[in-house]
Each structure stands twice: as structure tokens, then as C-alpha cells.
Amino acid sequence: MILFTAVLYSLLLFAPIHGFPLGRGRGILGNPPVFHPGLLCNLPIPVVQQLLCPRQSTPSLNVLTPLGIARGAADGSNAARFAVKYASASRWQPSSLVTTWQLPNGNTDPTKLPLSCPQTGVDGSTMSEDCLSMILYVPNSVHIGSNVPTLVWIHGGTFIFGSATGPGLDGANLAVATNSIVAVIQYRLGALGFLSPSGNTNLAVKDVVNSLKFLKTVLPAFGGDTSRVTVAGQSAGASMIRALLAAPSASSYFRSAIIQSDTMDYGILSTSSQQTLQNFYNTLLTCSSADTACLNGLSIDTILNSQNDFSNNAVNYDASAGVVEPIRPSRDALITSPLDSTAPFPQVSKPLLVTSVRNEAGFTIYGGFPDGLDSATYIGAVTGAFGNQSATLLLAQPSYAIPTQVEGGTQDLRPQLQQMGNDQVWRCPSWTFTRNWVNNGGTVFAGEFMVGATYPGNEQVPFCTQAGSVCHQDDIEIVFGTVPSPTAAQAALTTEVQARYSAFLRTGNPNVSGRPNWPAASGNNVNAIQLGASGMASIGACDPSFWGAAVPYDYQTFAN
């Protein structure tokens, strides 16, 4: 050890001659080759850092990675934040990993956050096609050699909105509470991510795979264990995770997954449906699919306008597109299974957390019928959406039936329609997926959020601000610990969820001492616990003999 240390000191002293940057303080950048024992900790030799470096109470904001120096910024008093570009991509072409550490969007200031990917409804100055970036949140307690797990968060937004800087997605509190690294990533959205005129499919999914490859390279420099990576996401972010689970080539880059409020009813598009929809999109452009120069010359506004036209009319070209999320992942060489009930389910092994919230459809139903819903309109809406045969079964189901004493009356039937939408799109297909996953070798812990925090935008619908309502997205700030002025119930659930997520990141099991047991699902019983309340979630109409059998999911109805 004495000889080994002497050699290292010699290397350090002569490093300036060979171009190794030295500095003062704890970073390795700055002024002059002045010797400081702490500089040993910045040598890119893991054994040196593990054997000779003192444990640090605060992180360096300059971290040596295999791709170069990562420059970060303090995020609160207990974590550091590192924004970084993980990949580059030409328009409508597959992305490629960066080979050097770069701040996003050509920034020189590490406190700057990445611009979002192009999307409608935002200021053009806040978005860029150069958007394949992520933000790493690293607790002060974590350093090289800590070998902590990593949670990779994939934002939602129906595949056309969202970013790593969305409301509530600051990962510092979550990172500190779970003593893990949190990476919040961005991927190409809308037509730029899923509708390449030349037929390059699932570009956005491939972006996410590249983000995981990037993390595998750099995580050890921050103290992360590359064998304990969990992908997590909500809504379209959860659907993206389902696409990753259906992509065998992506499997080695993560160990487990957390799926929150996945719209599983819609399904992964078939190859033929994707081609039909791609052909339609191409007709909306003024360029031929082979004219790269013309395509590259299109303005972002032109592309987003054609994307809007596509979204408004896609269902007329292929019914499986639907009206809510026609742009989404599709079957191809990367995604080899639909992971649903329309094809043989593959053998699986990864542990999953699968959750929904109490009132997933609350924003849509109460926002769409702000003045109430009478029985005639209710019957018409169900019949129009499902057809006569399925509507008859649905209206006879206790969860959705019209109370006999008010038939023909004006009682507000929004609760029944909200529950139907909740069950159809989120809750029941997620539990069908859970049973399939367990029956084919995997482990699932299912849950339902009974307490939430009104997510920005949801306040536009008064129902979502009422006591007891938990609308779609209202789980996000609970998980991240970013609820402004939380109530006692919100604070308690945040503490519980973060403790359970911490355990899951490490062991694949969310059970922790001092908390009620969270049983794993079986092939017959999903055992979904109520998060924020005691007891188990009611199966209700999610019985396997009803949804997915008597009344098919959309992915079954439009399977081809």
C-alpha cells in the first residue's frame, strides 16, 4: 500500500505535465497545480477513490465521469443537480449517444435546465429539437463507491407534451428520501418521435433506450449501481415503460419498473396500423418521404400543425388509433410483443409496481359534463362508445347501473361514467396485465392512490379539487415530495410511498418495517392495496370475467 500510494502521489504531482487538470478545493477544475490530498479523489481510478478518499458530507459539483467533467448545481441544501445531453439526433433519424459530457442546448452555465422537446402550447423559446437531455439528482450523502440504486423517471403527456422540467418533477426530495440517484429524462415527442416519414418507427422509444445506455456509462462516477436501475413513469411515461418491457433488447438496462396510471386499454399499435397512420401523416406534409432536404427544411410550426391535423383525424383512418392518444409506440423489430391479451404473453421475470389513482377519469368526465349528466345522455354516451351489446352489459353492472328510483330522472350520473372510464382505460386493464405478468413468471405489487395532490391544471375542473378526489396526475407530487404546503394526509403518504419506493429500488419488494404488508399479486388476485387508506382496493367490475372477457378492451376490439 505504501508503494501504491507513492506512485499515485507521483502521478498527481506530474499530472500537469501530461495535461491532467488540477485545481483547488474539492473540484478538479480551476487554478494551478497546487497539491492537495483531496485531489486523489478526483483521479479516474475507482480503487483510489474507494480506498483513500474520505466520505464526503456534501457532493462535489464537478464530477469526473468517463465522458468528461460533469458540472452541476446545488438543488436545495441536500442534493446536487446535473443537467446533461445524453444523445443527439438529426430530424426523424435514430439518436446516437454522446461521447463527451455536454450541458444541454450548448449551455455554459450548469444551473440552466434543458429546453423541452417541440410541442404545442408552449413558448417557442423554451423548446428545441436538440432536446435529448436528462437531469440527474444526487443526494449529498452519495459519492463514488456508494453503489446506490437509480430511479429513471419518464414523464407523461400523451406522447405529445411534457418535459424533464414539468411541474413537480424536481427529483431532489425523492433522491434524498430514497438515498438514490434520480434521473428525469426527455425524449422526442409527437410526430418527431413516432411518425418519421421514411418509416423509422419508435424513435422516441429508442431515445429512452439510449438514455439508459448513457446512464450505464456514467452512474458509477456519481455513486450509482448500474445493476439496480428502476424505470418509473406516469401515464404516457408508464406506457413508454410497457414498451421497454416489450423490447427484449432493452431488458439488460434496467432491473425493475414502476408503472403509474398507464392507459393500457389503448394498447401498443400493430405494425399494420402504424403503417396506415404513417401513410396518412405523410399526406399532410408538403415533402415526399424521400426528400430529406425538404423535410429538414420544414419549420417546427409546420410539423406541429400537421401533427394536430393528424391527431384530429387519425381515428378515421384506423380505428385502433382512438381519439385520445393516436401517437404512441408500435410493434416493430424493437417492440416484439403487445404485452396484452391478444397474443401469447412472453416469459418475464422483472418485479413491477403497478398503480392507478382513485379518479383517473375525473378530469375528463367532470370537465366534459360540467353541468351534470342525466340518464338519457348517459345511456347515449355508453351506447355510442361501446355499441348496443356491450352497453347493455355495462349498464347492468352494479358499478355503472342507473339507480332504479331515478330512471328517466335528472340525477347526476357523472360518478358512474367516471368509474366506467377509470375502469376501462386504467384500472382493469392494468390488473389484467398484472395477472398476465404474474402468470408468466414475474412479480407485481399493485396499488391504488386514495390520497393525492391536485396537479397543476387539474384545478380547472372543480371535481378534482374536492376532498377525496384523486384525479389523473395527482400522484406525481406525492411521489416526488413536491406538494406545496402538504396536508397531514399528503405528507404521511409521501413519506410512506418514498419509503416503499426506496425498498423496491433496492430489493424489488416495497415492504418496509412499520408499514402494513403489501402482498404481491397472484394469478387470481391482484391484492391491490389502498395507498393513503387502509385495506385492499375493491375489485368491482375489474373481475376477469367482465372487462377483457364480457366487455373487451380497446386493444382487443381493434386487434389486427
Indicate the SS3 state at residue 401. coil
Indicate the SS3 state at residue 305. helix
Are the beta carbons of 549 and 555 closer than 8 angstroms?
no
Residues acting as catalytic residues: 235
Q: Which helix (H) or strand (E) holds 294?
A: helix 292-297
409 φ, ψ (degrees, to nearest 5):
-90, -160
Q: Which helix (H) or strand (E) holds 446?
A: strand 443-449
How is residue 441 written as a grid cell?
413468471
Instruction: Tell me the angle at which helices 375-386 and 414-421 cross, rounded to the nearest 10 degrees.
Output: 20
Using CB atoms within 10 Å of the CB of residue 112, give its burial: 0 to 12 exposed, 13 to 18 middle, 19+ buried.
middle
DSSP E strand stretches across 47-105 = 62-65, 68-71, 73-75, 79-85, 87-88, 96-97
Produce one character per residue of 470-490: b if its CB has 16 or more CB atoms within 10 Å, e if not: bbbbbbbbbbbbbbeebeeeb
What does the DSSP 8-state code read for residue 547?
Answer: B
How is residue 469 written as a grid cell?
378526489
Q: How far is CA 407 from CA 69, 373, 517, 552, in A?
A: 69, 13, 43, 27
DSSP E strand stretches across 168-255 = 181-185, 224-234
- Specify the pairing of strand 68-71 against strand 62-65: antiparallel
Angle at 410 between CA 404 and CA 416, to 5 degrees: 65
Spatial separation of the C-alpha atoms in residues 225 and 70, rounded to whole Å: 18
Q: Letter for the amino acid at 38?
A: G
Q: Letter for the amino acid at 75?
A: D
Spatial separation of the C-alpha atoms in residues 41 and 54, rounded to whole Å: 8
Q: What is the largest CA-CA distance in the chain?
A: 92
Cβ count within 10 A of residue 199? 14
C-alpha radius of gyration, the chain, whole number = 25
139 φ, ψ (degrees, to nearest 5):
-65, 150
